[in-house]
Structure 1
């Protein structure tokens, strides 16, 4: 599609602003959770539902984003996504109970699930191949700035104002984005096949019930029998989806994707490795505030080295992967990731701040290298007809794994806190320590998946670093 030069120049800015709004919201919230829990009369250890509900909504709706954009046009869907995200933000700020806040986060998640995929789709359709990488790289920059700014901004906001402003700051950005989109988002659409509604329903049911079962086991919100039943039904739904996909002419996700060895290993590794890395943005702010007694602002500022480490890693990740190979990098780095997460069990009030900040910076480097290697491995061998479906499935797995990581971390934390017969503060500290060790072990175990790569095996079509981190 041919666009006027001004629209073509401003489109990456529009998508970048939307991406920044989404990543800022995700990183700004975690630091504010203890203060939110206090105001809502809840335990801070039960606030994971606020995070999980949003991530799970993203995972459920991302598969439908491309079809909706083709059916109704990128401009209409993108503006609708901004409106829903902004409405959800307003409802979050107005929430007076945990239940209302979780429901509002679902509304916000519906908008977030459409926002970035539709914006990225518009860029893919507008820019020719020689210009595409630079446009996508520009859009990816806010993905690094959000985690850099978010935690400290969230901590500062809850100290000088109230937690409600963590959500209200999205409103002026959303209003500006909607006006900007009306002028500069092209209205792209294509003929679409019938949407795989049955497959979408089975796949979504499997994801939702598995997450609810884990939530129920952790919070004891449901009986053990109900949680076990949901887990069994979720497995049945996923098996039913697989059987449906094998027989369907155009399934939601084609089983043929798993005939590509690098995709299969990369996707499975993404699912399990991100259980650890996805849990840490939730665990660390709680640990710093509840375990070490940091103020929200200090806790947020302490997390900046993680974002800085992630940015520094981008300068050497691609050459390192090219030289050492995927099997060696992912096999070793995944174990290092697990060991680094477990090492936070040794952190206590007596540890110098410089040592803690160094640990967080190293964790940021290891995390970034892990994401770069996993993503390029997963997508690198996909052909033109497989790229859209494979990228969508990877996005779903990324969001699902992070939501499961948060749910697992919260379940472990609650279980350890209830099982240790120690005084209040000592119980909480030991519960955090045991949770870090458990989450680290879970992450390190995924190295066994990456070791299934043959020595020297790597994707043919994608050079490391060409795929956006996530």
Structure 2
């Protein structure tokens, strides 16, 4: 097997474990909440705390991989994720579950970005789109089998067992990493920005956690406002600190690159909307429509199956139409399918729901492939560690924000309707809001240059070939025109 396929598949083992874990939890959320004595909306802290832990610790991933070697960091990260999974399975309270999820987040914070860094440093840019597709195809198997598998285990056994699935997967990932990944490290690692890590960590934690608990009545409003305020102040201090630091943990100067800037800002908005879907949809299916976790998982399966179908075509589509055109149009199309979820009622046939989710997953998968790939189109090799760190933090924080926005919309609808119990009608406004946010990303993708990412998509070669063809055609036309003029002159002389 070639390097362009082997390395993406190794990285995909970690993504498989992480993605399946996330979808399993979303499907089993109501059952877990009932067992540990809390509400499903309150248990969103378990999702938010995991994503928050990722956002806080990801900034250290690039430097850690450069300093200690990607293989060692990748393997240890998988081990930490496995320990956190065991902790989740043994949890008997909300606090236990949240702590275990935070530990999982520490492992995931190193596992995914370091794996992506290995891919970027091992694969030529011209083969990057194909490599990204190979990496994400196995990773998408997790979301495909996660919902029905998690629903089946939760319905017929116990939700505790869904986390133990990660153990054999993690062991396979560690084995593959030790055998096939080179211990890639930088010969001259940069100085670690500890002050920046603390400031950014406190800032991200305060803002994300404050937003996630707002409206849940878990903490007094002054405390919530204080968390958000401290987070904003800390991030402001970090921005000033980063300007005076040669090697900041979050290098915002990379945003000068047009493709990376579009991937960060546009990608944040797109993921913010789409990130709410795995949280809202299972709750709608189970609490709103009364489906079992297994039935809900089978419905959610359609969205992931659609994503799987796109991966084989993504590289060809992007090569044909270009990053800017595809990402601009597809952002709106994906948002429309997300908004369609607001029309789901108990009378809507499940087959129709699954078809809408299937087609929507097809377009969302194309968008994610394009966003994840074009981000590195202009990034130099020496900047890859900083770029992967910035992209990973943005990605996780946007998904965390999506969960928070989705839950806040549901809570706000309940308060407006003076309801104390969640019903199916409480979800429609949330789907509309997050779909609008996703659609707004199209503006930032349109701001990219016409030739954005042509080197990595292969479209540049098409344009060169087309240009040469046009030049040859023009030359033939010129010769033909000259010949016709000569013949006309001859006819005139003969006349």
TM-score, with length taken from structure 2: 0.84
Displacement, 1:245? 1.6
**1:176-191 → structure 2 map (5 Å cutoff):** 176-178=172-174, 181=177, 185-191=181-187
TM-score, with length taken from structure 1: 0.88
Quote the residue 1:386 is aligned against.
383
Quote the residue 1:105 is aligned against.
101
Quote the residue 1:288 is aligned against.
285
Deviations 1:272-311 (A, max 9, x none): 1111111101111111111111111111111222122112
Change (3 A) 1:70 1:316: closer
Structure 1 vs Structure 2 CA RMSD: 2.9
Displacement, 1:252? 1.9
Alignment pair present for 1:94 and 2:90: yes
Quote the residue 1:415 is aligned against.
412
Provide the C-alpha distance between the structure 2 equivalents of 1:306 and 1:272, rounded to a whole number of angstroms.
20
Number of aligned residue pairs: 458
Quote the residue 2:453 is aligned against.
459
**1:328-347 → structure 2 map (5 Å cutoff):** 328-347=325-344
Preserved contact between residue 152 and residue 297 of structure 1 (Cα < 8 Å): yes
Preserved contact between residue 82 and residue 111 of structure 1 (Cα < 8 Å): yes
Quote the residue 2:167 is aligned against.
171
Provide the C-alpha distance between the structure 2 equivalents of 1:248 and 1:348, rounded to a whole number of angstroms.
54
**SS of residue paired to 2:291:** coil
Displacement, 1:445? 2.7
Quote the residue 2:158 is aligned against.
162
**SS of residue paired to 1:386:** helix
Unpaired runs of 5+ residues, structure 1, are 466-470
Quote the residue 2:440 is aligned against.
445
Deviations 1:229-281 (A, max 9, x none): 33233222222222222221122233331222222222100111111111101
**1:72-83 → structure 2 map (5 Å cutoff):** 72-83=68-79
Displacement, 1:371? 1.4
Quote the residue 2:365 is aligned against.
368
Preserved contact between residue 129 and residue 373 of structure 2 (Cα < 8 Å): no
Quote the residue 1:468 is aligned against.
none
Change (3 A) 1:159 1:205: same
Deviations 1:175-219 (A, max 9, x none): 454455555554444342220111122222221111112112131
Q: Among 340, 348, 353, which residue is 1:351 paired with?
A: 348
Unpaired runs of 5+ residues, structure 2, are 460-495
Preserved contact between residue 381 and residue 460 of structure 1 (Cα < 8 Å): no
Give the number of the structure whose alpha-carbon radius of gyration is greater.
Answer: 2
Change (3 A) 1:267 1:124: closer
Provide the C-alpha distance between the structure 2 equivalents of 1:332 and 1:181, rounded to a whole number of angstroms.
38
Preserved contact between residue 58 and residue 392 of structure 2 (Cα < 8 Å): yes
